[in-house]
């Protein structure tokens, strides 16, 4: 069955434990507490041993980011499972609400993944960076695919999209198409034009803005209960995009 030798299994197990402990420290005490020595201490080993698994602390943190994203994706996916498959708008709402709930419940992880200055490295199509987000981005895209496949008019006339953006947005559109068809949803190019990609981008901007403001407490006034504020914004968002 498992072709892995015992060495390999041991190694994988230790690796899991390391990331698990790192994650626990991140959640309980914030990113600054994710310390090689602390992790090692919890695992009953010494700090230098960790260098057999990661080349540096930064390297470990990078993998942690990926783990966090995967978990977020799984979280969103499971929230989706309970829903009626044909309720596309409901799925969109569920994903948005799930994203917010997760961000508020895991502010440290959110900060790590979504609010850390982008590494100087270039954004190349198949980079680790993109793989990272894909595990949760895929959920967004899958849901978007279902909605689009049903002909819901999430769109905007292509000619309204500024010329300078067309090239980038076309690439985004193609990427979307690929991801969506890969996830088993059939969709035609006529349902996913540049205008649609543009609207989806704006959707993301507003959702991200709202959630980040909430996590960072940067609203311009004291908010007694941010839940209805989010719901209100979400309703506007869904309406502005033509989903209702």
Partner DNA sequence: GTGCTCTTGTGAACGCCGTTAACTACCCCG
Partner DNA sequence: CGGGGTAGTTAACGGCGTTCACAAGAGCAC
Q: Does 131 bind a copy of itself (CB under 8 A)?
A: no
Interface pattern 163-182 for a copy of itself (x via CB under 8 A): -xx-xxx-xx--x-------
- Residues between 31 and 70 that touch DNA (CB under 7 A): 34-38, 40-41, 44-49, 51-53, 56-58
The CA distance from 241 to 96, in Å, is: 14
Q: Token pair for residue 9?
A: 């299994």
In angstroms, what CA-CA distances link 132 with 14, 34, 125, 220, 237? 22, 19, 12, 32, 26
Q: Does 24 bind DNA (CB under 7 A)?
A: no
Pick one of DNA, a copy of itself, none as the site partner of residue 171 (Cβ within 5 to 8 A by kind).
Answer: a copy of itself
Interface pattern 15-44 for a copy of itself (x via CB under 8 A): ---------------x--------------
Least distance to a copy of itself, CB of residue 222, Å: 4
The CA distance from 49 to 40, in Å, is: 8
Q: What is the DSSP letter of 125?
A: T
CA atoms within 13 A on the CB side of 46: 1
Q: Does 29 bind DNA (CB under 7 A)?
A: no
Q: Give the burial class of 164: count Cβ atoms within 10 A of its Cβ; 0-12 exposed, 13-18 middle, 19 or more buried.
A: exposed
Q: Which of 20, 35, 111, 183 binds a copy of itself (CB under 8 A)?
A: 111
Interface pattern 81-110 for a copy of itself (x via CB under 8 A): --------------------------xx--
Q: Token pair for residue 42?
A: 């919890």
Q: Which of 2, 3, 5, 28 binds DNA (CB under 7 A)?
A: 5
Task: Select from 204, 211, 218, 91 the least CA-distant residue to 142.
Answer: 91
Least distance to DNA, CB of residue 31, Å: 11
- Sign for the pseudo-dihedral over CA of 199, 72, 108, 131: negative
Interface pattern 132-161 for a copy of itself (x via CB under 8 A): -x---x-----------------------x
Q: 36 vs 233, which CB is nearer to DNA?
A: 36
The CA distance from 39 to 13, in Å, is: 15
């Amino acid at each position: 069955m498992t072709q892995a030798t015992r060495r390999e299994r041991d190694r994988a197990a230790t690796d899991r434990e390391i990331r698990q402990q790192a994650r626990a420290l991140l959640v309980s005490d914030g990113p600054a507490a994710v310390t090689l020595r602390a992790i090692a201490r919890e695992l009953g080993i010494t700090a230098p041993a960790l260098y057999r698994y990661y080349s540096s602390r930064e390297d470990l943190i990078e993998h942690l980011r990926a783990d966090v994203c995967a978990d977020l994706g799984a979280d969103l996916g499971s929230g989706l499972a309970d829903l009626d498959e044909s309720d596309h708008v409901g799925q969109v709402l569920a994903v948005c609400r799930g994203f917010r709930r997760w961000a508020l419940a895991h502010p440290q992880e959110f900060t790590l993944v979504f609010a850390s200055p982008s590494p100087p490295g270039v954004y190349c199509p198949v980079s680790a960076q993109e793989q990272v987000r894909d595990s949760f981005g895929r959920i967004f895209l899958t849901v978007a695919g279902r909605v689009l496949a049903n002909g819901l008019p999430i769109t905007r006339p292509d000619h309204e999209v500024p010329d300078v953006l067309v090239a980038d947005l076309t690439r985004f559109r193609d990427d979307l198409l690929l991801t969506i068809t890969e996830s088993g949803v059939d969709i035609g190019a006529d349902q996913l034009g540049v205008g649609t990609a543009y609207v989806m981008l704006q959707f993301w901007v507003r959702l991200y803005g709202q959630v980040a403001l909430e996590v960072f407490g940067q609203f311009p006034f004291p908010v007694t209960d941010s839940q209805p504020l989010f719901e209100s914004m979400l309703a506007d968002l869904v309406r502005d995009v033509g989903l209702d």
